[in-house]
């Protein structure tokens, strides 16, 4: 039985590493491995920003991948936390016999959704602001 509250917290806390995907689908999940790859190149971009400053073109091209991966993980936490028990069972617990045994929802699941909204919105706005700033600075330099 897959617990939707646990899946939501996995997505919130360890989502950039794809842990929630591996919990639900196993290690053969391609999207989980893609999320690890995107997070890794994003972290490499963040390290380049710290080492070489914001003028490094490769850094500003790679760093948004980490923010996008974080936003995607938060979106997964929101979807898992708000999913109906019947839908959850159909997708992740096909052997569950009734609605009551399904998602094991609690107030903790809603708290995960609230945290995911906060963190995900911050990550998404940071990606948009950073990318927009770097694009317009580049456009001004070349003009």
pLDDT, tens only, 118-132: 999 998 898 899 888
CB 70 within 8 A of CB 96: no
Give, in order, the Cα–Cα distances in Å from 67 to each of 24, 57, 74, 90, 103. Answer: 23, 17, 11, 31, 29
Prediction pTM value: 0.81
CA–CA separation, 128 and 141 (whole Å): 20
Share of the chain above pLDDT 90, in %: 59
Nearest to 71, CA basis, from 114, 23, 12, 30: 12
Cβ atoms of 1 and 93 closer than 8 Å? yes
Lowest mean pLDDT among 59-68, 94-103, 115-124, 127-136: 94-103
Percent of the chain at pLDDT above 70?
A: 93
**138 and 82 Cβ atoms separated by less than 8 Å:** no
Distance, in Å, from the CA atom of 93 to the CA atom of 86, rounded to the nearest integer, reads 9
pLDDT band at 98 (very low <50, low <70, confident <90, very high): low
Q: Mean pLDDT throughout 82-96?
A: 89
With a CB cutoff of 8 Å and minimum separation 6, the contacts of 85 are 4, 99, 100, 102, 103, 105
Give mean pLDDT, residues 59-80. Answer: 91
Q: Check pLDDT > 80 for residue 104.
A: no
């Amino acid at each position: 039985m897959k617990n939707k509250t646990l899946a939501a917290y996995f997505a919130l806390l360890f989502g950039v590493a794809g842990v929630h995907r591996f919990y639900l689908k196993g290690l053969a999940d391609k999207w989980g491995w893609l999320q690890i790859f995107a997070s890794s190149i994003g972290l490499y971009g963040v390290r380049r920003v710290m080492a070489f400053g914001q003028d490094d073109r490769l850094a500003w091209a790679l760093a948004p991948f980490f923010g996008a991966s974080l936003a995607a993980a938060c979106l997964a936490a929101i979807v898992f936390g708000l999913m109906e028990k019947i839908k959850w069972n159909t997708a992740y617990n096909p052997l569950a016999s009734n609605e009551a045994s399904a998602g094991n929802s609690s107030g903790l699941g809603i708290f995960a959704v609230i945290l995911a909204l906060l963190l995900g919105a911050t990550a998404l706005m940071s990606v948009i602001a950073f990318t927009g700033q770097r694009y317009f600075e580049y456009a001004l330099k070349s003009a």
